[in-house]
Structures are given as C-alpha cells and as structure tokens.
A and B are shown apart, each in its own frame.
Chain A
Amino acid sequence: MITATVETKDSYLTHEYGVRSWLLTQDHKRIALLYLAAISFFFFLGGIFATVIRLELLTPPGDLVSSQTYNKLFTLHGVIMVFLFLIPSIPATLGNFLVPLMIGAKDLAFPKLNLLSWYVLMAGGVCVLYAMLEGGVDTGWTFYVPFSTSYANTYVILTGVGIFITGFSSILTGLNFIVTIHRMRAPGLTWFRLPLFIWSIYATSIIQVLGTPVIAVTMLLVAVERGFHLGIFDPALGGDPVLFQHLFWFYSHPAVYIMVLPGMGIISEIVSVYSRKKVFGYHFVAFSSVAIAVLGFLVWGHHMFVASQSVYASLIFSFLSFFVAVPSAIKVFNWTATLYKGSISYETPMLYAFGFIGLFTIGGLTGTFLAALGFDVHVTDTYFVVAHFHYIMVGGTLMAYLGGLHYWWPKMTGRMYPEGWAKLSALVVFLGFNLTFFPQFIMGYLGMPRRYHAYPEEFQVYHVLSTAGASVLAVGYLIPAVYFIWSLRYGKIAPANPWNASGLEWQTTSPPPPENFDVTPVVTREAYDYSILEEMKVG
C-alpha cells in the first residue's frame, strides 16, 4: 500500500501549467491552494491592522492615530480576520485539499461549485477591500444598530454586502462537504472508520449551512435599512435594536465553532500520529463534534446578558451555555489520554498540538466564566472577553491551522519544511501569544473596556506587556511565511508518507496525482490503525 516509487509521477501541480490552468481549475487540490494564497493575504493584512492597534495602545493617550482611524483599524481587523481569514481558513484550505483524499474520492461532489465558492469569497473580499481603500468602516465587526444604520458615516453598506457575499462562499463550501462526505466515501469507509478530521469538518459544515444564511439576511436588512432609511431595527421608528443582536449572534456565536471545530479535527489527527496510537475514545470525540455544532446554536444569548435581554432569557442561555463545555472538555481529556502509553515524538505539528490543547483549555475555561451570569456582567465588553476569544480563535484555531499546515505541507507541495526553524517558530508563537493575551485577562477584570482608543494610566503596564508580546508574535508568524515559501524550491523532496500515518491521504504520492488515487482504495480497517504500518515495515 505504501508506494515508495521513485519514478517522477504526474502530480496535480505539474499536470497543467499557466495562470488559466489555476484560475479555471476544478481540482479541489488546486482550489485549496487558491484559498491558501487568498487567506494568507488576508491574514497578513489583518495582522498589520492588529500591529498598529497594539502600537497605539502602548501609551495611554491616543497619540499614534486618530480615534476615527483607530476605530476603523479594529473594525477592519475584526471583519477581515473573522470573515475572510478564520471562517474560510481550515475548511476551505485544508478541508478542501483533504476531504476527498481522506475519504478516497476523486474530487468533491460539485467541483464547479467549489471553484465558484472561491470566486464568491474573492468578490466579498474585494467589496471589503474597496470599502477599506475608500475610507474604511468604523462600526466594529458586530455592526450593532442603530450605530451602523443611522449614525456611522463610513462604508457600512459596502462592507455589509461584502460579508453577505462571503457568507455564500461559506454556505456553498459546507454544502459541498456534506454531500461529498455522505455520497462519495470509498468502499468500506463506514462512518466510524472516518478520520476525526472528517467528522469535525462535517459538523462545521452543518453550522455553515444552517447558520450563515441568518447573518446574510441580517446584513442585508442592515444595508436596506441604511440605504433606504427604513426603520427595521431603528428604535426611533419602533424597531428593536436587541432583535438585531439576536439575529447577529444566532450566527456569530456558532461561527466560533466554524472556526475551532476543524482545528479540533486537526489536533485529533496530529496527536494520534505522533503518539502512534488510536485516538482515545474515538466515538466520544466524533460525536462531541456534532454535539458542539448543535448545542452551539442554543447559547447565543450569552452575548447579551447586559444588552437588556430579559432576565429569564439570560437564565436559559446561561444554563444552556454550560452544556457546550461538556463536549469540549471530553475532547481535551481524550487527547490527553491518547498520549498515555504512546510513543511520542516532537515534530513541529505535535508542538502546535500541545500548544493548542493548552491554550484551548484556558480559552474554554474562561469561556465557562463568561457563561456564568454575574461574572459576565462585570467583564463583558472588556479586555477579558478580548483575551478569551483570542485564546480560542488564535490560540485555538490558528495554532491548529499552523500545525495542520506543517503536517500536510509535504503532501500538498511534495516538499519538507525545515524542521529546526519550524520548531523555533512554534515556540516563538506560543510564547508571544501568551505574553500578548494573558495580561488582557487581568486588565479586563480590572475594568478596561474594549475598543478604547485612549485609556486611564493604571492599565498601561498590561498594555505594554501585551504590545511586547504582539511583536514577538509577529516574528513568530513571519518565520513560517518565509520558510514555507523557501521550501517550495529548496525543501527536501517529501516521501509519500513522511510521518508513517495511516490515513488514505498518505497512501497516494506526494503531491497527489490529479485524480488523487490510481486505484480507488478499499478500506478494511478503522482509522488510526498503525499496526498495519508496523507489520509492513517488519514484514
């Protein structure tokens, strides 16, 4: 099964050449690389905004940029990072590349739709970028009414339309994945033989398909209300601004799980491979993904405890919120238990996985704090919340994304990344991240509100620490960008299965041929069965 053939084979990268062959491709692997290029651009753009924000906050008075500019900076940082980086990140790049490979299919069910999704994302991105170049938008990524509909003087409609459009990219991607996972699995690949990454992508797709339309229609209503001066949410005309918040968070809370669930899938893969053990409690980990996807829709009101939502509704939302913590805790414990009596090696992806588990644990635990009603009243809209969601989105999703990128880089490009540099950058990212965001927990509990351009002096200590951490973090992200590009040309040629992993994606060449597999694979074993690899090596 493990092909060690040295002959130069036709790969998806060399099958065709030229710009047209990329821009009109229907190959899920090439589309994945298109996404990779696009979201890397958006990530560094959003990162630049973050850098300026952190520099501004180095000193208490707002002296580096004007308050209007500062407001645009954090809005664009949020909009770009959430809608154009985090949501497409793992599903659209790694998911696109891996879903057909992992289930032994030739492609996704709807390749044209897949390409269309990328163009739709680009169209949305262009709207947001155009709004940015024209003067930006200053509503915060949450677009709370009536500020966004009646008071902001910036490019709200254009940005809102951009988000509306990117939403459809996300919906179509999720739809494609669900159909593919249901209909295109290789013979013998039953649901409980699927890699856990597929389970998590499946759960993510459910949220994308059922949640995203609500944010789309909400942004549409905001644009219509602003454009035609209607009164849908405007309290001056009898509308209810809190209703907007319900619709917004109905999607935007589950959206957090769109970001972090695929990351959890990656961690399951990585932890298993580098400890050479089956994932402990496979069924629990698999079902916990679906449980998170479903329960995630029941808890949005915990963003609105002080928003004048009724006390009774707050009680219900708080109670339900604690239920989401259970499947999350199950995952963390199962990953830890997987290490027990394993054979653990410390390649870069495993370092990122350790980082993920640690940071996600802190992010998750502080999440339960925020679900506790009284506590939330004090810290909501402060830096405590900022720290919490960065622990989930950056400490969780981004660490997993980077871990996954390293892990599958040989498969995607046919080249190895430089291990030494990669380990160094993983360490730098971990330290930089904690230095940036841990002080924000303390600052938040002390009462530092978020989205403040200038702040009282007593918070400066923490802001200085945070800015120092951010500069370390920036270096940590630049190193991989450099060596990944370097490796495309100078990296060692990757074997088909450099990590001795058991998944189907490792049983084809690196990089894979255009049709993925020469012969449709037949699956006879559960996922993460390393004994077969050992037998083959010995025998």
Chain B
Amino acid sequence: MNPQFQLFPEQASATAVHLDHLTLYLLGVAAFFSTLIFALIFVFAVKYRRRSAHERVGEIGHALPLEIAWSVIPFGLMMIMFTWGASVFFEMSRPPDDAMNIYVVGKQWMWKTQHLEGQREINELHVPLGRPVRLTMTSEDVIHSFYMPAFRVKFDVVPGKYTTAWFNPTKPGKYHLFCAEYCGTLHSGMIGWIEVLEPAEYERWLAGGNAGESLASSGQKLFEYLACANCHRTDKPGRCPNLTGLFGSKVQLTTGETVTADEAYVRESILHPGAKIVAGYQDIMPTFQGQVTEEDLLQLIEYIKSLAKQPAQGATALGAIPPGLARRGTTLPPAAPAKNPKR
C-alpha cells in the first residue's frame, strides 16, 4: 500500500479528491507562469547578450497596458484560487449532520480516542467505511495537530478548547496519523494509524475487545460520583439549573447575554463556574479544575448531551435561592424563573 516512491498521496476520502483537483489547478497556474518567466529570461538572455561594449539598447521605459495586463490577469487567476480554496475549506469545516462523533484527546506524546460506544484506543482509530466521522478534539497540555494526509484533514488540537475535524473514508486500509504541530521532545513519536474497516468488520471490532460501557453512561457515573446531582437535580427544583434539555439550547446569563450551551460552554462551566452564571442562579458551584481530566470532561459532556435527547422529566426547575446562599461580592438581579440550566 505504501510504495517506496510515490509522487501523490493516497486519496482515501471525497475531500481528498476535491482538494487534489484544486492542487492540479494550482500546479497548472504555477507551471504556466514559471515556464513563461524561465523561457523569457532564457530567450532574452541569449538573444540580447552583449556583443560589443557600445551597443545601443532598446529604450522602452514603461508600458502602461502591459503593466495593467500583468497585474490584472494573475489577480483574476488568484481570485479563482481563493474561491476554489474557500469552497474546499468550507467542505472541510462543516461536518455533515449524520456524522458519527468520536472524541480525541492529545497529550505529550500520544493520541487518545474514545468512541461513543465506549471503546478507547491509543494512537489508533478504527472507523467504518463510507460513514462520515466527526472528531471533537482537545489537548491535555500543549497544542497538537491531528493530521491524516490520506484524507487531507488537519486541525490543531488546542488545550482549553474544543476543535472539530471530519472526514468520510472511501477506501478501506490503514493510513498515517501524524501530530503536525510541534509539541516537544517526542513530537515525531506522536504518530499512529487510522484503520478504515468495512462496516460489518467495524461492527465486529466494536463488539469485541475492550468494549465497556458507553461514554454517556460513564459520564453519568462520574456525574454521580462527583455529587453533581445533589444540586443539578432533574426531579425537583434545585439550587442549580436542571441540565435536562440543556445541550444545544440558548442560555440567558446574569449579564443579560445569551449563549449557546455547546461543548465549550459545558467545559467552561465545570472548570470556571463563575465565568458565565445563568440568570436566576448564584455563583455557588466550586471549580472542578484539577479533579477531572479532559477525558472525564468529554464523558460528562456526552452525558449532558444524552440528557438533551430525552424528553424533559418533570416540571422546569424554578430557581428559588435560599437567602443564606447569597454571597458577598456578587450582585444579582432578583431571582427570576430560570428555564435554563446553569452551572
């Protein structure tokens, strides 16, 4: 599969094909202009070589139409590059709705991947053929970059936030996974393999081996273990917002702003609870920084996501705050009925 001498990388996704078409256009433009320049230089250099010390030179100082032509024509060609490049980029940036989600955590110097079904891998990723895969990625330490040349996919994995990449494998096989952002001593050892399996084979792989419980249920256990459920109750009004139906909804904050409860929001709420406080609630939640790992966070997020898919149980929580909990230094508007959860 990997010949010792190749000029073009493997094309294992539809995006790869689209990108390679763009590449051909770019190469065509480059070939045309470099050939033109090289040929002109060569021809002029030979034809007008100096034959005597006093020969007359042609006096052409400038020519406006020529200047305009060689400014406008390359610019036109470059605007095609821009538009084409942007359209491929949008394709790369927008995972389809039906994509299966896989979580990736980078750390010095390994890749940890988690399937929703619970399988975890290190420096490997098994995916089924023909199904779009969406990666939600973060890093435990420094910036890494998840790079799969065969799919033409690369995106930085940044500590403190989530990033997204996606691909749709169209060819079974084993492909390189690289870290493309320099991350320290063993940067070149932070490599692995992506294995694209036939769907049936993938199901077999999922069923066997280290399959544990699903990410969401690991998250639920963690939720209970960390005693989150003491305040974030789903059965009756609690001191903290009800998390049912939270994920993906709009949340009104005490500052009057509205934010969408996405992965980043949930993550920030667990680590920096005071940063965004839901209208109608107090800043009473302790930080969990240092107590949960990035992988734990992803499990918690998956659990909270799973709550969003279930119909909300019981009535929406009413945010009544015991007066004793009001804390010095926080000025909050009078408690209002909160439809939205908080941290």
Contacts and interface: CB of A to CB of B under 8 A. Distances in A.
Touching chains A and B, CB distance < 8 Å? yes
Interface of A: 62, 67-68, 71, 138, 140, 142, 144, 146-147, 150-152, 235-236, 238-242, 275-278, 280-284, 305-308, 311, 314-315, 318-319, 322, 325-326, 329-330, 332-334, 336-337, 339-346, 354, 357-358, 361-362, 365-366, 368-369, 371-378, 380-382, 442, 445-447, 449-458, 460-461, 530, 534, 537-538
Contact of A447 (B50, B79, B147): B147
Contact of A241 (B58, B71, B158, B272): B158
A314 B44 CA distance: 41
A211 to B, nearest CB: 24
Given A235-B159, A284-B67, A340 B58 contact: yes
B143 interface: yes
A330 B67 contact: yes
A377 B92 contact: yes
Contact of B22 (A240, A281, A375): A375
27 contacts: A71-B182, A71-B185, A144-B142, A235-B161, A241-B143, A280-B61, A280-B62, A282-B62, A305-B89, A326-B71, A333-B70, A336-B41, A340-B60, A344-B49, A354-B45, A357-B37, A358-B37, A361-B37, A373-B85, A374-B92, A375-B26, A377-B19, A377-B155, A381-B145, A442-B7, A449-B178, A461-B4
Interface in B87-129: 87-93, 108
Given A340-B48, A374-B85, A457-B4, A241 B159 contact: yes
Nearest to B1: A458
B142 A146 contact: yes
Interface stretch (B27-35, B221-229, B230-238): B27-35
Nearest to A314: B89
B50 A345 contact: yes
A233 to B, nearest CB: 10
Contacts of A336: 37, 40-41, 44
A343 B70 contact: no
A361 B34 contact: yes
Main secondary structure of the interface of B (DSSP, over half): mixed
B158 A307 contact: yes
B9 interface: yes
Given A151-B142, A454-B189, 7 more contacts: A306-B145, A315-B89, A340-B48, A373-B82, A374-B86, A449-B180, A530-B57
Contacts of B3: 458
A453 B183 CA distance: 12
A314 B38 CA distance: 33
B328 to A, nearest CB: 22
Contact of A339 (B19, B48, B182, B275): B48
A400 B89 CA distance: 36
A369 B4 CA distance: 27
Question: What 5 pairs between A and B have smallest CB-CB spacing?
Answer: A235-B160, A447-B149, A374-B88, A341-B58, A372-B85
- B interface bracket (residues with beta carbon within 8 Å of A): 35 or more
A414 to B, nearest CB: 24
Contacts of B74: 325-326, 329
Given A144-B182, A378-B149, A343 B50 contact: yes
Nearest to B272: A238
Nearest to A239: B160
B75 interface: yes
B190 to A, nearest CB: 10
Interface in B183-197: 183-189, 191
Given A344-B49, A457-B4, A458-B4, A358 B66 contact: no
A412 to B, nearest CB: 25
B2 A458 contact: yes
Contacts of A151: 108, 141-142, 184
B295 interface: no
A318 B89 CA distance: 11
Contact of B71 (A146, A277, A330): A330
B156 interface: yes
A311 B86 CA distance: 10
B158 A242 contact: yes
A236 B50 contact: no
A352 B294 CA distance: 54
A47 B61 CA distance: 41
A376 B48 CA distance: 41
A447 B272 CA distance: 38
Contacts of B143: 144, 146-147, 241, 307
Q: Which of B23, B63, B74, B87 has the most CB of A within 10 A?
A: B74
Contacts of A275: 48, 57
A329 B50 CA distance: 27
Contacts of B78: 322, 325-326, 368
B153 interface: yes
A452 B188 contact: yes
Contacts of B22: 372, 374-375
B205 interface: no
A277 B141 CA distance: 59
A344 B45 contact: yes
Q: Which of A341, A377, A458, A530 has the most CB of B within 10 A?
A: A377
Contacts of B49: 344-346
A76 B59 CA distance: 49
A311 B90 contact: yes
A343 B57 contact: yes
A84 B206 CA distance: 55
B58 A342 contact: yes
A244 to B, nearest CB: 10
A361, A449, A453: residue with the most chain B Cβ atoms closer than 10 Å: A449
A192 to B, nearest CB: 12
A140 B142 CA distance: 13
B60 A381 contact: no
A456 B176 contact: yes
A369 B26 contact: yes
A308 B163 CA distance: 7
A306 B82 contact: no
A151 B147 CA distance: 22
A318 B82 CA distance: 7
B6 A534 contact: no
A368 B142 CA distance: 30
A67 B185 contact: yes
B163 A339 contact: no
Contacts of B178: 447, 449
Contacts of B159: 146, 235-236, 241
Contacts of B59: 277-278
A382 B181 CA distance: 9
A456 B183 CA distance: 18
Contact of A147 (B4, B7, B184, B272): B184
B279 interface: no
Contacts of A341: 48, 57-58, 60
A86 B138 CA distance: 36
Contacts of B18: 374
A308 B161 contact: yes
Contacts of B300: none
A349 to B, nearest CB: 14
A374 B79 contact: no
A136 B231 CA distance: 51
Nearest to B85: A372
B253 interface: no
A446 B9 contact: yes
A330 to B, nearest CB: 6
B140 to A, nearest CB: 10
Nearest to A71: B185
A319 B85 CA distance: 10
A373 B86 contact: yes
